[in-house]
Amino acid sequence: MQAQQKPLSLEWTRHLPENERQAFAEYVKSCRPVLSRLYDLISEKHNSLEKRTSTLESYTSPSWAYQQAHFNGMDEFARRVLELLEFAHKTP
pLDDT tens, residue by residue, 5-40: 789 999 999 999 999 999 999 999 999 999 999 999
Greater model confidence, 41 or 49: 41
Q: Which residues pair with 4 in a beta bridge?
A: 91
* pLDDT on residue 58: 72
Torsion of CA 86, 71, 54, 91, to 10 degrees: 0
Return the pLDDT at 44.
Answer: 94
Sign of the torsion formed by the C-alpha atoms of 53, 54, 57 and 62: positive
The full set of domain ranges for the chain reads: 10-88
Q: Three-state DSSP class for 4?
A: strand
Question: For residue 18, what pLDDT is reported?
Answer: 97
What pLDDT band is residue 91 in, cutting at 50, 70 and 90?
low
Q: Residue 22 and residue 39: Cα distance in Å, rounded?
A: 23
Question: What is the predicted pLDDT for the residue at 46?
Answer: 93
For the whole model, what pTM was predicted? 0.81
